Amino acid sequence: MFIIETVCVAWFSLEFVLRFVQARSKLDFLRGPLNIIDAMAILPYYVSLVVSEEDQNRETDRPGGGKGYLDKLGLVLRILRALRILYVMRLARHSLGLQVLGLTVRRSTREFGLLLLFLCVAVTLFSPLVHLAESELTGPHDFSSIPASYWWAIISMTTVGYGDMVPRSIPGQVVALSSILSGILIMAFPATSIFHMFSRSYQELKMEHDRLFKEEVAAAAAAAATGGAAEPQGGDARSPPAGPPDQTKELCMEALLQEANNHSLPPAAF
């Protein structure tokens, strides 16, 4: 597994360096979100190699001490190894769906902000109500405090419902029903706007990809046509230039007549 990871990281590193060298603006390249993700996915491998080597050296030099430092170093190493999951984010460079998702999230920050605001207001409203209903009408219960009730309100309004905290009294169940219905409505409010933004982003990126593909095809066709036109010029100097069919025939006849006159042949032979 280490060998496979080393080969993959070496390939990614070479690709990143080549793209950095060929970039017109090095600063804009380093500021790119996808390039930052690439760097964050590659660097943990090299840092883990350095940290592992330093960890082994310290264990050899100080076998009886420095355990706290080594524990912290091991924690940092485990975190860096966990960051290797960012390799998956490299697919966003080649996947239209992930690009659309990222563009939609970036354009819908206001809608997501409104969603979080509505959710926070509703959680702040329903948490004291369910705590009051359960603490007044039941004995020992799961809703020991209002902050502890926040977790129940969040998982209830998002319709997750783990079941670790359940209201037992009738008023508590009424509050739970109200919070669930409010959560469904709150989650549905910005969903339409986000969906339209996703659809529009998908159409824009698809049109952009189609335009780039057509430009590449046109450039390849132009290059092929230029190469085909240059080949006859390197051969016979009397070859007529490319043109419409009728004009090409006329030019060929004129060239033949010119050659006939040069060799003193009667034009009637043509």
**pLDDT digit string, tens, across residues 242-257:** 444 444 444 444 554 4
Contact yes or no for 156/184 (Cβ under 8 A): no
pLDDT for 11-70, tens place per residue? 888 988 898 898 888 888 888 877 887 787 787 778 777 766 655 565 555 554 445 565
Domain ranges, ordered by start, for the chain: 1-56+70-94, 107-209
pLDDT band of residue 240 (cuts 50, 70, 90) is: very low
Tokens coding 149? 């009730």
- 37-46, 147-156, 187-196, 222-231, range with the lowest pLDDT: 222-231
* CATH dotted code for 107-209: 1.10.287.70
**Residue 80 pLDDT level (bands cut at 50, 70, 90):** low
C-beta of residue 38 within 8 angstroms of C-beta of residue 12: yes
Q: How far apart are CA 112 and CA 108, in angstroms?
A: 6
Q: What is the pLDDT of residues 106-142, one digit of tens each?
A: 889 998 998 999 999 999 999 999 888 888 766 667 7
The model carries a pTM of: 0.55
